[in-house]
Amino acid sequence: MFMPWQEVSLVTVISFIEAVSQALREEMQRDRRVFVLGEDVGVRGGVFRATKGMLEEFGEKRVIDTPLSEAAIAGIAVGASAFGLRPVAEIQFADYMMTAVNQIVNEAAKMRYRSNGDWHCPMVIRAPFGGGVHGSLYHSQSVEAMFCNIPGLKVVVPSTPYDAKGLLKAAIRDEDPVLFFEHKRCYRLIKGEVPDSDYIVPIGKSSIRREGKHITVISYGLSLHFVLEAATRLEEDGYSAHIVDLRTLYPLDKETIVTAARKTGKVLIVHEDNKEGGVGGEVAAVIAEECFYELDAPIRRLCGPDVPAMPYNPVMEQFFMLNPDKVYQAMLDLAEL
């Protein structure tokens, strides 16, 4: 029973995409400097409906349907954020960020540094990434690793609705450019509890999703959910997994990673992006540098195959994608080592 004299913090179960929408809407209500721009974000409300209803609520000056023009979207966000506004740009699919890379890497990431702290770019670029949705080569890519050796940028990948909302709010309030990657398979598949009150999840902090003592599994995005599911099955084999959700891919939360690796001495890194040059390589290097002698086994990685992109044909797509079975097998192999 609702008793108005009591302090209540309401919690609602919502989908991942609703969490993104709530964060955008609440930040735009809170701060008139915040605006969104991107392809189809206005009348259509975004192809994934992240900005649904926002044109009506905030008007066309703050919810801007842009031309098909990713370099302009990113470059305009650079200019607007340098001026002092808080643009949240949507790149419709992460694959399309490639035509905006100059603005992201040469401009947004370097503005603070090259101006000796005089100018900076508090901007966010949101982009759906990842596959398993019959998206083929150009609607399925995981592009995050490319941006994870660019000091000046922050790269964030939430895996739950709670984190999506809290991290997006943190990204919008951040003083530096943040790339915010949302796994598109999570949008409607993943639901979770989100408080109605205002909160943020700090950028740069990873999260322990499950405590365990036999193996440490480090993941992010959709793959994290496969890891959690596999961990439940692994319990039946008598092994418990200690699970880290990276949440921020750049800069990495080295402390949490190393502490988690030390805890079990056996590490598996799981991501959908292909293995070579992926985020997992840097995570493995950090562990090797910091606690090599405390490991009981070589660090392992389970990742997408090293091919240019994800095929459309469903059999080949499934071959590319990770799933709970593949992850379970890799976890069991490591646990039994």
Cβ closest to other proteins, residue 117 vs residue 314: 117
The binder of other proteins chosen from 25, 62, 214, 266 (CB under 8 A): 62
Q: How many CA atoms lie within 13 A of 265 on its CB side?
A: 8
Whole-angstrom Cα distance, residue 108 to residue 98?
A: 15
Q: Minimum distance between the CB of residue 29 and other proteins, rounded to whole angstroms?
A: 15
176 contacts other proteins (rule: CB under 8 A): yes
CB atoms within 10 A of CB 153: 21
Is 82 a residue that touches other proteins (CB under 8 A)? yes
Paired with 64 in beta bridges are 37
Question: Which range binds other proteins by CB under 8 A, 68-76, 134-142, 159-167, 302-310?
Answer: 68-76
Our finding on whether 72 is near other proteins (CB under 8 A) is yes
List 175, 198, 276, 296, residue binding other proteins (CB under 8 A): 175
Nearest-10 Cα torsion for 277, 207, 46, 304: 30
Q: For 13, what's the count of Cα atoms within 13 Å in the CB-facing half-sphere?
A: 5
For residue 251, is the peptide bond before it cis, meaning its omega torsion is within 30 degrees of 0? yes
Quote the tokens at residue 19: 């969490």
**Interface with other proteins includes 5 (CB under 8 A)?**
no
Q: Using CB under 8 A, pick the residue from 3, 5, 6, 84 that binds other proteins.
A: 84
- When binding is defined by CB under 8 A, the residue of 8, 11, 71, 285 that contacts other proteins is 71
Using CB under 8 A, which of 8, 12, 44, 151 touches other proteins? 151
Of all helices (H) and strands (E), which one includes residue 78?
helix 70-83
User: Mapping DSSP to helix (H, G, I), strand (E, B) and coil, where does residue 273 land?
Assistant: strand
322 residue type, one letter: L
Q: Helical H runs in 84-148?
A: 101, 111-114
Mention every residue, 6+ apart, whose C-beta is less than 8 A from residue 325: 230
* Site membership for other proteins, residue 130 (CB under 8 A): no
Tell me if 42 contacts other proteins by CB under 8 A. Answer: no
Segment contacting other proteins by CB under 8 A, of 8-16, 105-113, 139-147, 315-323: 105-113
> Which listed residue (120, 139, 214, 242) is catalytic?
139
Q: Which of 103, 140, 160, 264 binds other proteins (CB under 8 A)?
A: 103
The number of C-alpha atoms within 13 Å of 319 and in the hemisphere containing its C-beta is 11
The candidate with the shortest Cα–Cα distance to 287, out of 278, 279, 295, is: 295
Q: Is 236 in the site for other proteins (CB under 8 A)?
A: no
For the record, the structure tokens of 70 come out as 């990713």
Exactly one of 18, 27, 107, 272 binds other proteins (CB under 8 A); that residue is: 107
Q: Does 202 bind other proteins (CB under 8 A)?
A: no
Quick check: is 271 catalytic?
no
Query: Which two structure tokens, joined as six digits, stand for 251?
Result: 């800069």
Determine, following the binding rule CB under 8 A, whether residue 113 of this chain makes contact with other proteins: yes
CA distance 167 to 48: 19
Q: Does 152 sit near other proteins (CB under 8 A)?
A: yes
Looking at 100-108, 156-164, 180-188, 237-245, which segment touches other proteins (CB under 8 A)?
100-108
Distance, in Å, from the CA atom of 83 to the CA atom of 54, rounded to the nearest integer, reads: 23
Does residue 149 interact with other proteins by CB under 8 A? no
User: Which stretches of the chain bind other proteins, using CB under 8 A?
Assistant: 32-33, 35, 61-62, 64, 66-67, 69, 71-72, 74-85, 87, 99, 102-103, 106-107, 110-120, 151-152, 154, 174-176
Positions annotated as catalytic residues are 139
